[in-house]
Amino acid sequence: MAARQTPDTLDMAVRVASMDEVDRGLKPHQALAEAGRCIFCHDAPCVKGCPVGIDIPGFIRRMAQRNFVGAARLIRQANPLGAVCARVCPSEAQCEKGCTSAGLTEPVAIACLQRFAMDQEMARGIRQAAAAAPTGRRVAVIGAGPAGLACSLALALAGESVTMYDSAPEPGGVMRYGIPPYRLPREVLNREVDWILGAGVRFVGNTEVGRDIGMDELLSEYDAIFIGAGLGEPATPDVSGLDAPGVISAYSFLRAAGQTDPAPIAQPLGRVVVLGGGNVAIDAACTALRLGAEAVTVAYRRAREQMPAWAREVEFAQDEGVEFAFLLSPAEVLQADGKIMGVRMTRMKLAEDDASGRPRPVPSGEPDEAIGADTVLLAFGQGANESIFSALPSLARSEAGMIEVDPETGASSMAGVFAGGDAVNGGSTVVLAVSEGLRAAAGIRAYLDSSREGSECR
């Protein structure tokens, strides 16, 4: 079988000094060669690995026939954020993991093919899908991240009147305010978001539900509600000195950095230490490099094998020059004259597995050590979105403290209130949020249909 095609990447010197997209995508001849590698298995294990069930053999077949826009339309039927997901999905753990040709050589580069098709379509303009006749029913969507966007589009196309509220000024959620532009260019996001809004979805920004508009108001004005409000505040570890200027949450840092190119980050970065081991830590580290940090170290309390960050993201950061320090847990942010000097770290060792199934890090008993730093970025995960539970105190929580929903319909414990995305699953991926938004749209339509039948019987 022919070798897997790989896209070009930006030259390293340019790459680490700009927010430009690193992955340049396949060239036309590469896309055709890669499409030719698919063996079109009859049971398509790749499709089973895709949370939204894209007809992968179908779109690859169209690509092999040079029908790139047709391929994109097939993808878009299953995933309204197909161009975004082609860039940010962990495809090696999803569709490409199931690729049968993985057993022969290397899996087909499905995400690269999807990106090629979507880019071809976007260059020509995404065709607006026709919406069904208006039903006269009104749905409020809280949160304009991937879950809210996918749910809104599906409802709008079905003729429901949809208003999407977000506390942020612009729609996109973490795709706009978290994932760095060098992995997800904002023009790609904007085109898909504009296409969704163009289907008739009304967007109301700068409006936090529970603060700027009451949940009671939404419950009385709308026939159903979808909550796709994502996660809450970043977790703060029990470490002394976190109030020092120059200690920043990685989320706030990425949010500021994603706005402009290069971003106006207030203080000089100098030596940056990122505390945490997830994808957010990696994104913050690579962003810090791009904003001119002298050196960047990611410090994690377990070993590399236990890092929650995806392996390909860790390799990406290492290639760019990010250093990693393992088995170190932060004890104190060291300061002198009101300035950060470094972080005192406790050396850890691994003990028996904890509830997460990973070895528990415990102090090794060796002396603490210091890592020099001028800026400290905190990336310790996020908890549930409490703004939603405060606004709707009777909403039932799952064991993990998130919104509990029916796994078939996305219905919450309250009649007419549905939910999906990170607010339900506790933090996962863009494509899973899309699939949960679509699931809830179907659940909402079934609920509205049954409510209407009920009222007609009375």
Ligand X SMILES: Cc1cc2nc3c(=O)[nH]c(=O)nc-3n(C[C@H](O)[C@H](O)[C@H](O)COP(=O)(O)OP(=O)(O)OC[C@H]3O[C@@H](n4cnc5c(N)ncnc54)[C@H](O)[C@@H]3O)c2cc1C
Q: Does 209 bind ligand X (CB under 6 A)?
A: yes
For the CB of residue 316, give the shortest distance to ligand X in the complex, in Å: 11
Selected from 145, 258, 330, 342, the binder of ligand X by CB under 6 A is 145
Query: Based on CB atoms, which residue is closest to ligand X, 121 or 313?
Result: 313
Q: What does DSSP assign to residue 133?
A: P
From 53-61, 129-137, 139-147, 442-450, give the range in contact with ligand X by CB under 6 A.
Answer: 139-147
Contact between 310 and 90 under an 8 Å Cβ cutoff? The reply is: yes
Contact between 257 and 263 under an 8 Å Cβ cutoff? The reply is: yes
Binding to ligand X (CB under 6 A): which residues in 55-94?
88-89
Q: Does 210 bind ligand X (CB under 6 A)?
A: yes
Q: What does DSSP assign to residue 354?
A: -
Bridge partners, 340 (sequence order): 335
For the CB of residue 63, give the shortest distance to ligand X in the complex, in Å: 23
Binding to ligand X (CB under 6 A): which residues in 253-272?
254
Q: Does 215 bind ligand X (CB under 6 A)?
A: no
Strand runs (DSSP E) across 106-160, as ranges? Answer: 138-142
From 256-264, 275-283, 337-345, 441-449, give the range in contact with ligand X by CB under 6 A.
Answer: 275-283
Query: Based on CB atoms, which residue is closest to ligand X, 135 or 167?
Result: 167
Selected from 101, 387, 413, 451, the binder of ligand X by CB under 6 A is 387
Q: How far apart are CA 140 and CA 320, in angstroms?
A: 43
Sequence-distant contacts of 405-412: CB under 8 A, at least 24 apart: 405/440, 406/443, 408/439, 408/443, 409/439, 409/440, 409/442, 409/443, 409/446, 409/447, 410/226, 410/436, 410/439, 410/440, 410/443, 410/444, 411/440, 411/443, 411/447, 412/227
For the CB of residue 64, give the shortest distance to ligand X in the complex, in Å: 27
Cα angle 148, 168, 381 (rounded to 5 degrees) comes to 80
Say which residue the tokens 């490099």 belong to.
Answer: 289
Cα angle 110, 81, 85 (rounded to 5 degrees) comes to 40
Q: Does 279 bind ligand X (CB under 6 A)?
A: yes
Q: Does 440 bind ligand X (CB under 6 A)?
A: no
Selected from 429, 439, 440, 441, the binder of ligand X by CB under 6 A is 429
Q: How far apart are CA 266 and CA 246, in angstroms?
A: 9
Selected from 113, 154, 280, 298, the binder of ligand X by CB under 6 A is 280
Cα angle 273, 277, 261 (rounded to 5 degrees) comes to 60
Residues 6+ apart with CB under 8 A from 145: 172, 173, 174, 175, 228, 230, 421, 422, 433
Binding to ligand X (CB under 6 A): which residues in 156-175?
165-168, 173-175
For the CB of residue 82, give the shortest distance to ligand X in the complex, in Å: 13
Query: Based on CB atoms, which residue is closest to ligand X, 299 or 438?
Result: 438
Q: Does 435 bind ligand X (CB under 6 A)?
A: no
Binding stretches for ligand X (CB under 6 A): 88-89, 142-148, 165-168, 173-175, 178-179, 208-210, 228-230, 254, 279-280, 283, 385, 387-388, 421-423, 427-431, 433
